[in-house]
Structure 1
Amino acid sequence: MTTSLFSETEERQELRTQVAKLAGKYGREWFTAKARAGEKTTELWLELGKNGYLGINVPEEYGGGGGGIGDIAAVCEELAAQGCPMLLMVVSPAICGTVITKYGTEAQKQRWLPGLCDGTSTMAFAITEPDAGTNTHNITTTARRDGDEWVLSGQKIWISGVDEADHVLVVARTEDARTGKVKPVLLVVPTDAKGFEFHHIPVEMVSPEKQFQVFIDDVRLPADALVGDENGGLVQLFAGLNPERIMAASFSTGLARYALRQATAYAKERTVFKAPIGSHQAIAHPLAQSHIEIEMARLMTQKAAALYDDGDEAAAGEAANMAKYAAAEAACDAVDRAVQTHGGYGASQEYGMAGLLVAVRVGRIAPVSREMILNFVAMHSLGLPKSY
Structure 2
Amino acid sequence: MTVSFTESEERQELRKAVQALASKYGREYFNAQARSGGKTTDLWLDIAKHGFLGVNVPEEYGGGSGGIGDIAAVCEELAAQGCPLLLMVVSPAICGTIIARYGTEEQKQRWLPGICDGTGTMAFAITEPDAGTNTHNITTTARKDGDGWILNGRKIWISGVDEAENVLVVSRTEDAKTGKLKPCLFVVPTNSPGFEANPIPMELISPEKQFQVFIDDVRLPADALVGDEDGGLMQLFAGLNPERIMAAAFNVGLGRYALDKAVAYAKERAVFKTPIGAHQAIAHPLAQAHIELEMAALMNQKAAALFDAGDEFAAGEAANMAKYAAAEAACHAVDAAIQTHGGNGASQEYGIASLLVATRVGRIAPVSREMILNFVAMHSLGLPKSY
TM-score computed with the length of structure 1 as normaliser: 0.98
Question: Aligned runs of 1:289-368 on 2, under 5 Å?
Answer: 289-368=288-367
Contact 1:124 1:162 in 2 (8 A): yes
Q: Give the aligned partner of residue 383 of structure 1.
A: 382
Q: Give the aligned partner of residue 25 of structure 2.
A: 26
Q: Which amino acid aligns with 1:50?
A: K
Q: Output one character per residue of 1:363-382: Cα deviation in whole Å (capped at 9) or x when no partner.
A: 00000000000000000000
In the alignment, the residues of structure 1 paired with residue 63 and residue 5 of structure 2 have an alpha-carbon distance, to the nearest angstrom, of 27
In the alignment, the residues of structure 2 paired with residue 275 and residue 31 of structure 1 have an alpha-carbon distance, to the nearest angstrom, of 34
Q: 1:220 to 1:6 in 2, by over 3 A?
A: closer
Contact 1:140 1:178 in 2 (8 A): no
Structure 2 gap segments, 5+ residues each: none
Q: Give the aligned partner of residue 171 of structure 2.
A: 172
Q: Which amino acid aligns with 1:328?
A: A
In the alignment, the residues of structure 2 paired with residue 105 and residue 72 of structure 1 have an alpha-carbon distance, to the nearest angstrom, of 23
Provide the secondary structure at the position in 2 that maps to 1:237: helix
Q: 1:307 to 1:6 in 2, by over 3 A?
A: closer
Question: Aligned runs of 1:243-322 on 2, under 5 Å?
Answer: 243-322=242-321
Q: Give the aligned partner of residue 198 of structure 1.
A: 197
Q: Give the aligned partner of residue 235 of structure 1.
A: 234
Q: Give the aligned partner of residue 72 of structure 2.
A: 73
User: 1:120 deviation in Å?
Assistant: 1.1
Contact 1:379 1:385 in 2 (8 A): yes
In the alignment, the residues of structure 2 paired with residue 198 and residue 168 of structure 1 have an alpha-carbon distance, to the nearest angstrom, of 11
Provide the secondary structure at the position in 1 that maps to 2:337: helix
Question: Aligned runs of 1:64-103 on 2, under 5 Å?
Answer: 64-103=63-102
In the alignment, the residues of structure 2 paired with residue 154 and residue 8 of structure 1 have an alpha-carbon distance, to the nearest angstrom, of 42
In the alignment, the residues of structure 1 paired with residue 9 and residue 178 of structure 2 have an alpha-carbon distance, to the nearest angstrom, of 51
Provide the secondary structure at the position in 2 that maps to 1:176: coil
In the alignment, the residues of structure 1 paired with residue 349 and residue 327 of structure 2 have an alpha-carbon distance, to the nearest angstrom, of 25
User: 1:180 deviation in Å?
Assistant: 3.6
Structure 1 gap segments, 5+ residues each: none
In the alignment, the residues of structure 1 paired with residue 112 and residue 361 of structure 2 have an alpha-carbon distance, to the nearest angstrom, of 29
Q: Which amino acid aligns with 1:310?
A: A
Q: Give the aligned partner of residue 149 of structure 1.
A: 148
Contact 2:136 2:178 in 1 (8 A): no
Contact 2:5 2:302 in 1 (8 A): no
Contact 2:6 2:301 in 1 (8 A): no
In the alignment, the residues of structure 2 paired with residue 375 and residue 321 of structure 1 have an alpha-carbon distance, to the nearest angstrom, of 11
Q: Which amino acid aligns with 1:327?
A: A
Point out 4+ residue stretches in structure 1 off by more than 6 angstroms.
none
User: 1:179 deviation in Å?
Assistant: 2.7
User: 1:178 deviation in Å?
Assistant: 4.5
In the alignment, the residues of structure 1 paired with residue 300 and residue 177 of structure 2 have an alpha-carbon distance, to the nearest angstrom, of 36
Q: Which amino acid aligns with 1:296?
A: M
Provide the secondary structure at the position in 2 that maps to 1:297: helix
Q: Which amino acid aligns with 1:370?
A: R
Q: Give the aligned partner of residue 36 of structure 2.
A: 37
User: 1:182 deviation in Å?
Assistant: 1.2
Q: Which amino acid aligns with 1:111?
A: R
User: 1:138 deviation in Å?
Assistant: 0.3
Question: Aligned runs of 1:47-58 on 2, under 5 Å?
Answer: 47-58=46-57
In the alignment, the residues of structure 1 paired with residue 141 and residue 76 of structure 2 have an alpha-carbon distance, to the nearest angstrom, of 35
Q: Give the aligned partner of residue 208 of structure 1.
A: 207
In the alignment, the residues of structure 1 paired with residue 28 and residue 205 of structure 2 have an alpha-carbon distance, to the nearest angstrom, of 12
Q: Which amino acid aligns with 1:284?
A: A
TM-score computed with the length of structure 2 as normaliser: 0.99
